[in-house]
Amino acid sequence: MIAALLEDKHLEELLRARVRQLLESGQISLFLGYERQESLPGILPSSVPCIIRDPSDVARLVFDRVCHRSLVKYLLDLPTGGDSKERRAGLVVRGCDSLALQRLIQDHRVSREEVYLLGIPCTGMVDKRKLSKVYPQSPSVSLESILDDTCLGCDTHNPVIYDELLCEKVSEAPSSVVDFVQVRRLEALSPDERYKVWEAEFSRCIRCFACRNVCPACDCRQCTLESNDPGWITKHTSISEQFMFHFIRAFHVAGRCVGCGECERVCPMGINIGELNRKFMKDIRELFGRDNPKMPRDVEPLGKFNPDDPEEFL
C-alpha cells in the first residue's frame, strides 16, 4: 500500500524510454538519474543518484517519492573543457532541482548548453522520518501525512527550466508561501535565549560538511573553510568555532539559497540549519523587496545595491 504511494510506474516507463533514445542518438553521453537501492529487510525504500552511460542500463532508472538528493551538484564532478564529451549530460529536474541548476548556471559553474533537462513537475518527496513511523506496518496512510515539510511548503513544483517535460504541469501554490514561523519565534526571544538555542544546536555539529557538500549554492571551486590562510576555522571544534562555521556557511548562501532544504535533511545531528537560511530570506524580502528570494538571478541581492536601500547607519 505504502509502496504504491511512492511509485509512479507510468512516469518511470516514459523516463526510461526517453533516456534510452537520448543516449542512443548520442545527444547526451550520460544521464544523471536515480536508481532504487537494493531493498533491505525492514529498511525504508530509498532511491539514490546514479549515472547511466549505457542505454542498456536504463531499466535501473526510477523516479519515485524517495529520490531525496538533488542531482545537479554531480555535474561539477564531471570532467570539463577540451574535447570532454562527459559534460553533455542529461538529468531529471524537479522544481527545486531546476532552481538549483539555475544557481549553478548563474554562477558559471555549468552552462545551459551542456545539459539536457527532462523536467518532472513534482508534488513532493516523503520525509524519511515520517515514513519510518508508518513503514511498513500501517495499512493506509495519506500521502500528505508523510510528505517532507519543505515539500509541503513548496511553491516551485514545476521546473523553471527544462528541455522537455515528462508529464503535465501541476498547479502551483501561490508564490512566496514560504512562511517564517520558526524564524519569527526565534526573533521574539531575548538575545541570551537565542544564543542558548544556537549554542545547543551548534554544539552538536560535527563538521562533517554534509550540509555544504549537498548545497547547490555552495559551488565555489575552493571553499574558504578549507583555506589555511587566513584560516577562518580550524579543525578545532570550540563552540566559538562552531558559530564561525555556521555564520560563514549561512552568509555565503545568503541571497543565493534556493530553499531546497537539502542541508537540513542530510544533517545527521538534526541541527536547524534551515532557520539560518530562512532568516536571510525573510530579511532580504523585507529589506530589498525581493518577492521570491529563492529564484536565482544573474546578480544576487548582495552582489548589487539600490541607492534607495533602507538607511539605518546615518
Partner 1 sequence: MSATITVDLEELETQLAGDVSRRFDVYVPVDENGAVVFRRLTTPASGWLKRSVSLTRSVLPANKLLTPQTDPVLRFQGGPTDYEVSDAAASTDLVILGVKPCDARALKLLDKVFADESDIDQVYVERRQKTVLIGVACEKPEPTCFCKAMGVSPWSSDDCDLMIYPMQGLEGLALKCSSDKGQAFLAGMHLTIRELPAETSEEIEAHYRAIPQPLSEFVGHPEALSLDSFELPIWGRISERCLSCGLCTYLCPTCYCFAVVDKSLGERGLRARCWDSCMFPDFLKMAGGHNPRPTKKERVRQRFMHKLCYTHERYGQIFCVGCGRCVEKCPVGLHFVDVLSQLRRELAGGGGDGL
Partner 2 sequence: MSQHEQWQPLIVAFCCNWCSYAGADLAGTSRLEYPPSIRIIRVPCSGRINPQFVVRAFQRGADGVLVAGCHPGDCHYSTGNFFARRRFLLATRFLEYLGIEPERFEVRWISGSEGQKFADVVRELTERVRKLGPAWKLRDAV
Question: Where do contacts with partner 2 occur on this chain (CB under 8 A)?
Answer: 183, 186-187, 191-199, 232, 236, 238, 240-241, 243-244, 247-248, 250-251, 254, 276, 279-280, 283-284, 287-288, 301-302, 304-307, 309-314
Contact 260, 150 (CB under 8 A): yes
What's the first-to-final CA gap in the chain, in angstroms? Answer: 63
Q: How far is the CB of 285 from partner 1 (least distance, A)?
A: 27
Among 85, 88, 130, 207, binds partner 1 (CB under 8 A): 207
Q: How far is the CB of 163 from partner 1 (least distance, A)?
A: 23
Contacted by 51, from partner 1, partner 2, none: CB < 5 to 8 Å by type: partner 1
Q: How far is the CB of 46 from partner 1 (least distance, A)?
A: 5
Q: Which three cell numbers stand for residue 95?
A: 522544481
Phi-psi region of 224 (alpha: psi -120 to 50; beta: other; left: phi over 0): alpha
Q: How far is the CB of 308 from partner 1 (least distance, A)?
A: 41
Q: Which three cell numbers stand for residue 7?
A: 511509485
Among 152, 208, 220, 287, binds partner 1 (CB under 8 A): 208
Residues 6+ apart with CB under 8 A from 254: 277, 280, 284, 301, 302
Q: Where are the alpha helices (DSSP H) in 56-161?
A: 95-106, 128-134, 143-146, 149-152
Interface with partner 1 in residues 263-282 (CB under 8 A): 265-266, 268-270, 272
Q: How far is CA 38 from the centre of its chain?
A: 24
Contacted by 68, from partner 1, partner 2, none: CB < 5 to 8 Å by type: partner 1
Q: How far is the CB of 265 from partner 1 (least distance, A)?
A: 8
Contacted by 310, from partner 1, partner 2, none: CB < 5 to 8 Å by type: partner 2
| Residue that is written with C-alpha cell 545527521 in the block | 268
In eight-state DSSP terms, residue 105 is H
Per-residue binding string, partner 1, 122-151, x by CB under 8 A, is -------x--x-------------------
**Listed residue (93, 271, 279, 81) closest to 180, CA to CA:** 279
Distance CA 132, CA 126 (A): 10
Q: Does 258 bind partner 1 (CB under 8 A)?
A: no
Pairing of strands 30-36, 89-93: parallel
Distance CA 119, CA 304 (A): 31
Per-residue binding string, partner 1, 12-51, x by CB under 8 A, is -----------------------x-xx-xxxxx-x-xxxx
| Shorter beta-carbon distance to partner 2: residue 1 or 200 | 200
Distance CA 176, CA 169 (A): 19
Q: What is the dihedral of CA 72, 73, 77, 83, to 10 degrees?
A: 40
Stretch that binds partner 1, among 4-12, 17-25, 70-78, 98-106 (CB under 8 A): 70-78
Binding footprint of partner 1 on the chain (CB under 8 A):
35, 37-38, 40-44, 46, 48-51, 60, 68-69, 73-74, 77, 129, 132, 200-201, 204, 206-210, 212-214, 226, 234-238, 265-266, 268-270, 272
